[in-house]
Amino acid sequence: MPHSHDVERFNRWAPGYDQHWMQRRIFAPVQRTVLELAQEQVARPGAIIDVGCGTGKLLALARDRFPDAKLVGVDAAIEMVRQAQASHLTEAIQFQQAMAEELPFPDVSFDLAFSTMTFHHWKDQNRGVAEIARVLTPGGRWLLAEFVATGFMKHVRKVLRLHQFPDRASLQAILSIRGLRVVAQKPVPGLRRQVTVFAIASAPA
């Protein structure tokens, strides 16, 4: 689950979250890249979950691109969930409070799972990855968008001990334990190639 201070911070942030400058500069290009790669990987998903959905913007965009899919958003911060419910008054998208480490859904429930700039907030990343693997359908994809240090930033990450932000080796190690692997990836335009969207699938038996 996210660290408790992170949840509290996002609860306080929820009312003004959609007006923050990061929406335009960071989150919007990340969301576009996620949806582009998702459509390349799974053209007609039956069900999509956004883990760490915030105010629900990504799922609203996904509804336009995947109109026949069931859409579910979960977030650990209850005020984010309430803001999402108030902003998207439609039965087409369901929002509820839940943590990545304890997804309240049956096995093999979703063809696509999204996690956009939330992985570094998970307190137990191994357990969260296990839950994503559990709810993905065979042939499903997890679209993970995250800051993954490259070049000079790899040294900054090491010096500042920012271990909650994975490097590529540590990410691959976490995935392989759960039988997952990266099958495609796209850097997010305009962010100096420091944020990448990974399409993750079950590794061949």
Q: Which domains does the chain have, with CATH numbers?
A: 4-202 (3.40.50.150)
Strands 195-202 and 93-97: unpaired
- According to the model, what pLDDT value does residue 150 have? 58
The pTM assigned to this predicted structure is: 0.89
| pLDDT band at residue 141 under the 50/70/90 scheme | very high
Give, for 82, the enclosing helix (H) or strand (E).
helix 78-87
Apex CA 96: angle with CA 87 and CA 49, to 5°?
90
Dump pLDDT digits (tens) for 104-134: 999 999 999 999 999 988 989 999 999 999 9
